[in-house]
Structures are given as C-alpha cells and as structure tokens.
Amino acid sequence: QAFFKSIMNAEPSSPTKRHTKISVVGAGNVGMAIAQTILTQDLTDELVLVDAIPDKLRGEMLDLQHAAAFLPRTRIQASTDYSVTVGSDLCIVTAGARQIHGESRLNLLQRNVTLFQKIIPPLVRYSPDTILLIVSNPVDVLTYVAWKLSGFPSNRVIGSGTNLDSSRFRFLIADHLDVNAQDVQAFIVGEHGDSSVALWSSISVGGVPVLSFLEKQQITYEKEMLEAIHKEVTQSAYEVIKLKGYTSWAIGYSVANLARSILRDQRRVHPVSVLAKGFYDIEDGEVFLSLPAQLGRGGVLGVTNLHLTEEEKHRFMDSATTILQVQNHLSI
C-alpha cells in the first residue's frame, strides 16, 4: 500500500528528467571520495559501488545511506556482483593496487592490468552504452587497457589524466598570485605524473595571459617561480601519499567535476586522457595522453587544436614513446 494517498485524477508520476546511474568500481579511499562528492553535488539518481571485499563494501554503502536525511535523494546500492551496475550511464574505475610511497606509477601497472581483465568485461556486458572513466594508476596506460578490453569507440573511454595535475597547478598559481583558483586558466597535458607538460602560454587570470604580462614587466624571476610551481605539481601526489598515505579529496572533486560535464552534457573543456593518435607526431601509436578535450553526454566530443611549442611537443612525444614502450610489454 502506498504511503501517500493518491490525489484524485492525478497523472501517474513521470520523471521530468532522464534517470541517470553512475557505478564506481573500487570502494577504497579514492572511490569513496568520488562517491561522496557525487552525492553531495546531486549528480545522479542512482549510485552503485562495486568492490572485491564484501564487508567493507556493505559498510561503506550503509554509512552513505545513513546520510540520506542530509543529501539529495539518490538510490545507493553496492555489490561484489557486477549485475548491480546494469544500465549505468557512467562507470568510474578506481580499483587497483595502491601506490606505495616512492613507487612509480608505472610499477603498479602489471598488477592492475590483471585486475582490469576481471573488471572491464562485466561492466561492458551490463552497460554496453556506458562511458568508462578510468582513474586507477598508471591512468594513461590503464585507459588504453580499458579501451582495448571494452571494444568501445575511443570517445567513450576517458582517463582522468591531468585534470587533477591541472587543478593542483591552478591552486598553486592562484596561491602565488593571491587570486581565486577558479579564475586561473592553466593546463597541464601529457602523462599524468612525472613527465607531464605545463602549457605556460595557456596560463591566464581573468582573461589576462600571465606569461606575456610578466615578460612585458620583465619579471624574469617569476618564470623560474612558475617552473618551481610545475615541479611542485609533479611532486605533490608523492608528498600527500608520504604524509597521509593516499590522496583522495582532490581526486574526488576532480572526477565529480568530469562526471558533471559528461552526464549534464556541459561541453566543458578538461585536460583528460584521450586517444592521442593523429595528434602532433603520434601518427600510428595507440596511446592515451591528456589533451584539453570537450566532454559531454557522448563522452569526448572533440579535442582542442592546441599549439605546442617545439619543446612542449618534444616532451609530449617523449611521454608517448615511453608509454608505447611500456604497452608493448603488456599481455592484455
């Protein structure tokens, strides 16, 4: 019996907007930070958690469900069985071995490829039209692995890539210039992590290009400061891991931001890992690297035609070559 007595002659309730469903695979620190940010930002009607450890998974589900009185209404489910993900619009994969202090992201790889062989096929089977958003590290290679395992067109397989590096970059520039990070436009492209490429010419605050402004003022020491800021970006994950054991909040917000652009068809430009074949001198190589990409309901809608300086192009190509060499040794 329905709790509310129906109002006479009322039409049966019909949803006013399309029902959306997000699945998060991996209910660890990163997966849970993403899940809670998605919930607080009212991004989906249904949120599903999948993990390999049933007790931890149920504990996390109950803990989130108990916050229902303070959150936008969202159906939260969790299971170790992938059938719970059926009909997902977006599947976010964070499952993986955790990066240990001092361990390079590439070292994590083979362990995570084996995991992906168990994760990607059932996700695809239950949600053949979904968009895959990969977060597990090394994210660029694992996005390629997910693309290969899924058989999806490349526009539906995205890696969170340098979206996080770019937000760290924007924070540090904002802090240095004493402005709001949301007013700082700055992109880091290429590999997520050690060999990422900072695009100096893209940095602007409130529409004013920062580098040419500094050059006109002949503030050369500021350029060194900017280089130091980029170095700090590449070191920041290691520093947070050293201090608290893992990173979670910034990646949580950064991935929720991508989920919003995708599911709400915002068509915003984010630096994310996309199939970079055909860009710059990557003619045949099947490699995923971050470039500023427009995201919407169809996944990657386009990639901006970035002008890279010779040095930037060189560094971007170096990342591509390194990743391609790593991929050649993988059995997928």
Nearest distance, CB of residue 121 and ligand 6V0, angstroms = 12
Q: Which is nearer to ligand 6V0, 21 or 214 (CB)?
A: 21
Amino acid at 194: D
Is residue 296 helix, strand or coil?
strand
Would you say 206 and 183 are in contact if contact means Cβ atoms under 8 Å apart? yes
Q: Which is nearer to ligand 6V0, 252 or 299 (CB)?
A: 252
Is residue 188 helix, strand or coil?
strand
Nearest distance, CB of residue 308 and ligand 6V0, angstroms = 22
Nearest distance, CB of residue 229 and ligand 6V0, angstroms = 18
Torsion of CA 244, 246, 252, 254, to 10 degrees: 100
**192 catalytically annotated:** yes
- Phi-psi region at 304: left, alpha or beta (left = phi > 0; alpha = psi -120 to 50): beta
Rounded CA separation 13/328 (Å): 54
Q: Which is nearer to ligand 6V0, 96 or 271 (CB)?
A: 96
Q: Which is nearer to ligand 6V0, 26 or 271 (CB)?
A: 26
Q: Which is nearer to ligand 6V0, 196 or 327 (CB)?
A: 196
HSE-up of residue 321 (Cα within 13 Å, Cβ side)? 7
Element (H, E) at 327: helix 310-328
Kindly state the tokens that stand for 43.
């991004």
Q: Which residues bind ligand 6V0 (CB under 6 A)?
A: 25-31, 50-53, 94-96, 98-99, 115, 118-119, 135-137, 139, 160, 164, 192, 246-247, 251
Nearest to 238 by CA among 95, 31, 99: 99
Choice among 101, 176, 192, 329 that is catalytic:
192
Nearest distance, CB of residue 262 and ligand 6V0, angstroms = 16
Q: From the DSSP assignment, how many helices (H) and strands (E) are in the chain?
A: 9, 12
Nearest to 139 by CA among 168, 112, 121: 112
Would you say 41 and 71 are in contact if contact means Cβ atoms under 8 Å apart? no
Rounded CA separation 24/248 (Å): 14
**Distance (Å) of CA 29 to CA 215, 241, 248, 250, 275:** 42, 12, 6, 11, 28
Q: Which is nearer to ligand 6V0, 210 or 291 (CB)?
A: 291
Q: What residues act catalytically?
A: 192
